[in-house]
Structure 1
Amino acid sequence: MTSPTPRLTPLGVTVLALLIEDDMHPYEMLRLMEQRRRDRIVSVTKGSVYHTVSRLEAQGYIAEAGVDRDGNRPERTRYTLRPPGRDAVPAWVIEELPRTDRPAAFRVALAEAHNIPLDTATALLTQRRDALRVQLDTLREGITAARDRGTPDQFLIEFERELALLDADLSWSDTLLDRMSNAPIPWGDDGRSDPAQYALLRKAAQL
């Protein structure tokens, strides 16, 4: 019997997504995550990154690619993606991008959505937008019904907050989907910053 595919954590997906770009050592991964502010959406510490790299290697997603030696700096082991790791990122993004019930995972999926085709990302985000609209309408009807029954407003404050957040999310989703459909965002390899600038940022992350 084939063993089930190990469930990836958001940080694990972020590490694998970095290795799609190139082989890296964990310290460079950490620095690039900080540069790109991924530490706002996943818990990023030196310990968590090294632990995640070790776990991904044990699970067969990545493998050692060599050891960097530079002057008096400590030796740094570089890692490369194995085929399961390369396939895992788009599969994870496709699973999480249309969902509305896992906000933390959605933020990572959105940050890594450029690893799937633009039309696929657009379709999945459209599914999510449609689900948000249903939730918004259902919640609005529930609040109206509660008020009609005489429920005091003090008991509805949290629901009003949820309604406002859903409304904002829906508005943002509509704006993003309009951009993705009518003024396509540079995507995937085409969306990477200027190659010279990218090289400088990678160099800075290696120091």
Structure 2
Amino acid sequence: MARRKVSNTLALAVLGLLQEKTMHPYEMASTLRERGKDNSFKVNTGSLYDTVQSLLRHGWIAEVETVRDSRRPERTVYATTEVGQQEFVSWVDELIRTPATEYPKFMAAVSYLGALGPERAAEALTERVRHLDRQIEEAQQMLDETVGTGLLPRLFMIEGEYALHALQAERAWTQRTRDEIRDGTLSWPETWSDPKDTP
């Protein structure tokens, strides 16, 4: 599989927005944030402008016009090119079909859960459940406010559903594991049962 000239997933988001209509970068950033997509893509002004310039340099997008509001500086509006459209569709197809190896920090930490000892591990997992509950509530609220109200078609926020299900699955596993530690069904090696207190 050949490496793409542009592989930053923020570029995928930009190309995705330009499927809907032409936009300038400020509108792109605002739209991503309004739709909660800054949870899926790392959105900041510098990286967005760099991404737009990279897409422009490789011919995936093109300048359409420059607009000026009396109170704001000139803004360049972009559209996807034919090449960009082909790359976008090919890229989405590849990402959907082929699972990529990812290295989540939580999975790395869980592989050493035993180092915490049963009590501290249960406490840590309990706190994670609380954080997950908040994230689940926020994800559900975002879906309710966009898809639930008809503001956006469900397909435009489908990754929000995926994220919600992933959070719910992680919460279920985390709580179940915490409960197994507390009821003793997840046994601890003696050497790791009583770790020294560390901050």
TM score, norm. by length of structure 2: 0.49
- With the length of structure 1 as denominator, give the TM-score of the two structures: 0.48
